[in-house]
Structures are given as C-alpha cells and as structure tokens.
Amino acid sequence: MAAPAASAEAVLLLLVLLLVLAAVALRCGDALSLDLYDESCPEAEAAVTAAVRQAMANDRTVAAGLLRMHFHDCFVRGCDGSVLLDSTANVTAEKDGPPNVSLHAFYVIDNAKRAVEALCPGVVSCADILALAARDAVALSGGPWWVVAVGRRDGRVSLANETTALPGPTASFEQLKQAFHGRGLSTKDLVVLSGAHTLGFAHCSSFQNRIRLQGTDAAADPSLSPSFAAALRRACPANNTVRAAGSGLDATSAAFDNTYYRMLLAGRGLLSSDEALLTHPKTCAFVALYAASQEAFFRAFAKSMLRMAALNGGDEVRTNCRRVNSS
C-alpha cells in the first residue's frame, strides 16, 4: 500500500520542479544580455556612439543631459524608456512632470534611434539606446567605459505624477536612502551615482535655499563655504545656471572626474542633497574615499550604473521613441 503514496509524492515533486523551472525560464527570458545584438544588429552601439559624439561636439551640455535622462528613466518605472514618450491630449507624460521639465537632449536619442532603425528596423529598444548613450556620454567626457547589457523593452505608460518618486535637490539623507533602497540600490550606490553631479550644471532655484537668508546676503546653510556662497549669489542673477562641480562657476562642466567629492569636502557642494551625504558616517567615508581616488570612483561608478540599468521593464520595441507603437 506504500507504493501509491510514493508515486503521488513523486508526481507532486515533479509538478513543483516544473513550476520552478518555468519561473526560472520566465526570469531568464527577461534577463539582459551582453551579446543580444551581435548578430541581429552588430553596428547598433557604434551608431549610438556616433550620434552622441556628434551632439557633444556641438553642445557640451549634452553629456550631462543624457546621463540625467537615463537616471530619471530608471527611477520611475525601471529603465523602459518611458521618460522619452511625449505627452498626448489625454496624458501628461513623465518628461513634463516637475522634476523633468529641465531635461534636455532628447533629440540625441531621436537621432540615434533613426540611425539604428536604418540598420536594423524594430530590433533595438529606445531604452537600450538611452542606456548606451548615457554610457557613451560619460566615456566621451573622460569618465569610465563599461559594457552595457541590453535587451530592455520599451514601456507603454508614462505618467507625470509618477515623477514624484525622483529624489529632489533638497532631499535629506533618509529620503535619498529610501528612494535608492526602494529600487534595490545600496547606500554605496547612492554616493557613487551622486558623483554624476560632477558633470553638467544646476539651476539656481535648486540651491537658493542654501545661499541666501531671506532679506539678507548671508548664507542660509552654515555648511556651505561663505566665499563660495557669496560667489554663487553673484553668479545666479546673471546666469540662472552654474557648474555643478569644479573650481569655477562656469555655465556647465564638460569633464567627468571626482571633482564633485573634493568640492563637497571643501564646503562647495551645490545642493542640499549633496550635503546630505556628509551627514552619515558611512556615506561620509565613501565621499572621502572617492575624493582621494578617482580610480576607485570610476570603478564604483561603472558597477553602480550597471546595477541601476538592470531595473528592467517595458513591453515592446518602439519604432519612434516619442510614442508607443500602434496596437
């Protein structure tokens, strides 16, 4: 009488095993790949790089724009290219949400997409093109280069009200940590990816709360270098934007390096969210490490970008990055 029971247990075990294998197969089907386009579109990466290089030659703000665009894409619905979609008559898209109104360089992705579509129509997603373009923007600015895993799908949903999930320039350490941990990223990733602020510019409105007490010329934030605060007060009425990092107050920075961390330790970080990294022993130690070693920062940045870019989502490969495919 024991045989039927054993047989039933074996059947049950087999069913459980099949379910596990099916789940693994589904996950593997959604996994990113290092060689997905090797045969289907071998020139895709070169086409994207060419589009980014050409745009950067004409506008030195492009690199920072592409990197920020990729970050803002990944932090809302995963890296699904939803930030690229235009608003419609019925839906206000992510790019028109308050944190994203200053995003720019969308035309670079459009140009890259047209070039790639000419090579291999319907193969490479807009989300992959954005991930590749962000990598190229960093590398062409003197930063690290890394192999980008591909195979992302493009999302069909883009909602402006979901951009509230993006950490803002006045975010506290706890708010920043919560935002990163909620996406499976670590506190170290928070410090490392903040280093991208070394590239580009910041609008004066993003740090007015730090440089001027209401009705006075005194700095509102005592952690900010008084001389730096004074220089920012002089620069802001004239420029509206200043360099996010660096020894000067240029309109933008075109070099990717570890200046951000060195400026932060010198009391010359622009944003409250930058200063927040010095309010916790663990993050402060990472800031000191990367201020001392650009090589360590570059290695860590490439790894953190890979982790962030693995936040996958989406349903299709768009023909036009600005609108979903017709049903």
3 state SS of 323: strand
Compute the C-alpha angle 155/160/161, nearest 5°: 115
Catalytic residue among 70, 72, 104, 203: 72
The DSSP call for residue 85 is P
Q: Consult the annotation and say whether 167 binds a ligand.
A: yes
CA distances from 158 to 88, 112, 162, 253 (A): 10, 21, 8, 30
Q: Consult the annotation and say whether 78 binds a ligand.
A: yes
Residue 104 known to be catalytic: no
Compute the C-alpha angle 207/213/216, nearest 5°: 125
Q: Consult the annotation and say whether 94 binds a ligand.
A: yes
Contact (CB, 8 A) for 176 and 273: yes
Nearest CA among 118, 124, 172, 121 for reference residue 148: 124
Q: Consult the annotation and say whether 80 binds a ligand.
A: yes
Q: Consult the annotation and say whether 217 binds a ligand.
A: no
Q: Consult the annotation and say whether 257 binds a ligand.
A: yes
Backbone phi, then psi, for 200, in 5-degree steps? 110, -150
Nearest CA among 230, 238, 221 for reference residue 170: 221
Q: Consult the annotation and say whether 76 binds a ligand.
A: yes
Q: Consult the annotation and say whether 73 binds a ligand.
A: yes
The annotated binding site for substrate is made up of: 167
Residues tagged active-site: 72
The annotated binding site for Ca(2+) is made up of: 73, 76, 78, 80, 82, 94, 198, 250, 257
The annotated binding site for heme b is made up of: 197
